[in-house]
Chain A
Amino acid sequence: MMKLKATKVAMTKPWLVWRSRRFSIRLDRRVPGVMLVLALMILVVLIVSIGYGNYFLPPMEVVRALLGQKTANPDASLLVMTLRLPRAIAALEVGMGLAVAGAILQGVTRNPLAAPEIVGVQAGAGLVTVAILVLLPALPLVLLPVAAFVGGLLTALLVYLLAWNRGSTPLRLVLVGIGVAAIVTALTTLLITFGEIREVSQALVWLIGSVYGCGWEQVATLFPWLLIFLPLAWGLARELNALTLGDDIARGLGSRVEWQRGLLLLTSVALTGASVAIAGSLGFIGLMAPHLARQMVGSSHAGLIPTAALIGGLIVVAADLVGRSVFAPIELPCGVITAVLGAPYFLYLLLQHYDR
């Protein structure tokens, strides 16, 4: 009996390992398969999402337009390439950014309830962005993520400092985050109450999170942030694994704990800030995606981070599609959809982790 068990374990080796002289990756065995399936799902949802709208395009037509081939309707190519594709890609980018930001935050704080919107990062980034939209509408779009990043960073620091009372506990962090978010949101409300009604209507949509009106400019603005910080997050996966074991163990494993934690948090805030600057305060992605990913590929971050990114992207693209279609022709912002999904999930997590 024992022997059988041993061989079974040996046969289904749980890790995939690549090693070169300076570099090695160890991935959960399930990662490539899961990621492949997720990528295919994203592709399908993207094509449906691009095809859907008040002018409906069949999937083959979408694919043809995307590949630059001749389409049956000459306008299809224009419609896809200038309007619908950038919006869908922006949704994908935002989802990836928020999901990875959440994965890092949960790992670093060892707090399953930590998510950018809960510890106040999104509220802070949102306040700065709304302030700029209302007060300095002339500011170029490229600078918006930088401002949101700074706002998110300051708010996160504030929450962390306030939650520090001879040490920090996950629940107090969440509570203080709720309090700070309430104050910051009140300031945002203030700005909105005094804005022009047209801008306000926009700001409201934006406040709950939406990729409405995203074009190539938004896609291009967000892209460099992802290009830098997603690989950085993935590269720090091993350090993140060590940190989740606790500071002492991480130190024992040779981590420079404070420095690495700082770098990881910075990465998380940067990804959040940039995403919020483009799509507003989209809730619960950073909470849901990492947990779902953990259930699929385990908690080693080398596999968790890319999987969470794909799940986040998938959720936002799908939520945008649902938001556009349930009350068509009126659009619901996709943040409403993610809130409907995410709020029950948060409660489920709460019961799972704090009711043993």
Chain B
Amino acid sequence: MIYDAAVIGAGVVGCAVARELSRWDLKILVLEKELDVATGNSSRNTGMLHAGFTYKNGSLKAECAVEGNQEFDLVAAELSVPFKRTGKLVVGFTDHDRENILKFRENGERNGVKGIRMLETREEIEAIEPYAGGNFAMYVPSSGILDPMQYTIALAENAAENGASFLFGAGVASIDRPGDGDLWILHTEKGDFSSRWVINCAGAFSPMVSAMLGYPEYYQKGFKGEYYVLDKKAGKYLSIPVYPAPNDKGGFATHATPTVDGNILVGPDSYLTEGREDYANRRDRLDSLFKEGSIMFHQMKRDYFIRNFAGIRWKNCDEKTGEVLDFILEADPEKGRSVNLVGIESPGVTCALPLARRAVQKILDRQEKEGKPLSPNASFDPCRKVPRRFSEMTMEERKKAISENPDYGQIVCRCENVSRAEILRAIHNPLGVHTLTGIKNRTRSMMGRCNGGYCQTRITKMLEEELGLAPEDIRYQRENGVIFTGKVRGEA
């Protein structure tokens, strides 16, 4: 089969591109090297819907962040993803802090960020968040929080419902365009695929794919950051992201951010790494992050620790000066039918859909120019319907849900109150993902304070039963990440 468009990478950008492409009558294939969407940096971040006040005026980052921010109420409603427009506080203590904050205010206003205002007194700050520090603050009402994993999953599921195909465990090893012709051949671990268009959404590996397509292998630097996830019990102490005043370069020190589910994230710190997937937490970093985090968030207690994770912002940089550059979004007609997205790091989640629209526009323009305009997908539905979570229902809604489907009455995960109905839906997800972390990221089971101590054994059993899998076929997250070596006794 010849595809019309092959998207490389199922991170938030790849899934947004697939979703926007699925508005058109196209055969779409998303190739992902891992076994699920959003296993890389799409999910390894703070989950902010950025307002866009820090990015250089006129940059793609600024333009797309503001656009993505403004439309997100509609996007969240269409895709049924949790989202809170919390606003953000940037707090300061000194005159120097004030100077830096005011620079951002001015920049933000130039970028089109609306409603920014200064809070000059403690009373004004406390009216918004009593636990926030600072003598004065900048309040940015348009900032919000979302779950980047749920969001990416939603984009992918909506794309799949509108006809896009997803293939996991299919890392692209090399790409050919025989005779510089109209067709690309993508060589993957799962075989070869032909496509008329290729869109590079390979995230951490986007420079390598860029080179495979004939574009430069852009220079990048990896800024790694580590996080603590804190118990929901700490959630009551913070209702809005509170950031310290930025430093002179516009960077923020460690901060605390509430998640849309009610946890608190403390982090990230920032240091350089070479490893494209160096997601390991480092002991020295966790120790210093704990100390720094305690300054910004006074409820930083060990009793609240749930998890750690790390992410890497692969920034396009000037090789000589080290200066951080903008996102790259390009489609060079000389290089076949391709769209190249490189270095989409923070604020990539906020920018994903605006970038996807721009990428698709490049395809539409070229098709138009070639006299082969695309026709719309007549059955496209922008909405993804998902049943509500048991944990978010009122008692009355729970009664009704259980009477309609008794599986809602079986609580599988006690920490997050996830019902059997939700686990079953996740096991039979539209993308065909069946890793344990896939179930986790879709339901919040195993994400609570017991880390799956109670529910993990039930969920692996359900995976075996529902999908007819052998014990050796149950994977934690990756291809060789088996959970069982076999049975204890009896037939192997």
- Do chains A and B interact in one complex? no
